[in-house]
């Protein structure tokens, strides 16, 4: 089985690559894709760069050029649900594009004709994630993740996204990956570590958090890969 592992930034895939051997590099469409064998799984690893266009391009390339059959994405997100705290892990149950707006034509926010507002994550992969969380003794929260090509710092905008979409967290890639995978029939899973929240400390060091959360997420992703491998 060919499994894709994605992040948006180099830091999000470095802990993944560090645990693989005999890694091969492939340069396609101004990006680098890494392939390696993990157990019986053929892994394809890449960081997309930030935003919906780059993440769509990367996901499509992994599926069309490398034959990825399942997609796992890990990275960071901001909380808009006050129950989420810095460091929490959240698995997206469904994703939407909060900046997609053709309401002038009578459509709801996040919708385009022949599309849908929400794309749902694969139930089986969510089940595997729940099993991994239980075995690791950690809390894995679930919720709606909203994606847009903007870093949202405005509190009024955050509240609007929360109310309009019932969203729990915000980021810049997940829904784009979800749309690609859904269109091409590829099961996907989006894992996010909360990097900022309403109660965050002014002394918060994002760079330090990014490295620590990436290592934590990598452990989680590898545990999921082990479960997928064993199920083969």
Which listed residue (88, 168, 171, 196) is catalytic? 196
Q: Is 219 a catalytic residue?
A: no
Burial class (CB in 10 A: 0-12, 13-18, 19+), 123: exposed
Residues 6+ apart with CB under 8 A from 211: 11
Q: Is 207 a catalytic residue?
A: no
Alpha carbon dihedral 47, 149, 212, 192, in 10-degree steps, equals -90
Which listed residue (11, 12, 201, 219) is catalytic? 12
Q: What angle do CA 57, 61, 63 make, to 5 degrees?
A: 120
Distance CA 52, CA 147 (A): 8
Which residues belong to the active site?
A: 12, 196
């Amino acid at each position: 089985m060919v499994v894709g592992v994605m992040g948006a930034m180099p830091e999000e895939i470095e802990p993944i690559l560090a645990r693989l051997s005999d890694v091969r590099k492939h340069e396609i469409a101004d990006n680098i894709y890494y392939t390696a064998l993990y157990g019986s799984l053929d892994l394809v690893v890449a960081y997309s760069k930030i935003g919906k266009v780059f993440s769509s391009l990367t996901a499509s390339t992994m599926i069309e050029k490398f034959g990825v059959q399942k997609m796992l994405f890990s990275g960071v997100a901001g909380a808009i649900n006050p129950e989420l705290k810095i460091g929490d892990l959240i698995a997206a149950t469904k994703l939407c594009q909060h900046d997609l707006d053709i309401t002038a034509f009578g459509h709801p926010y996040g919708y385009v004709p022949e599309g849908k507002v929400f794309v749902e994550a694969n139930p089986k992969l969510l089940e595997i994630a729940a099993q991994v969380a239980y075995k690791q003794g950690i809390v894995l929260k679930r919720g709606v993740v909203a994606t847009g090509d903007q870093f949202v710092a405005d509190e009024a905008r955050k509240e609007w996204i929360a109310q309009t979409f019932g969203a729990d967290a915000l980021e810049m890639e997940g829904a784009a990956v979800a749309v690609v995978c859904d269109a091409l029939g590829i099961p996907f899973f989006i894992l996010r570590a909360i990097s900022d929240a309403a109660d965050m400390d002014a002394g918060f060091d994002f760079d330090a958090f990014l490295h620590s959360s990436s290592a934590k997420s990598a452990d989680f992703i590898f545990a999921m890969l082990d479960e997928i491998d064993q199920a083969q």
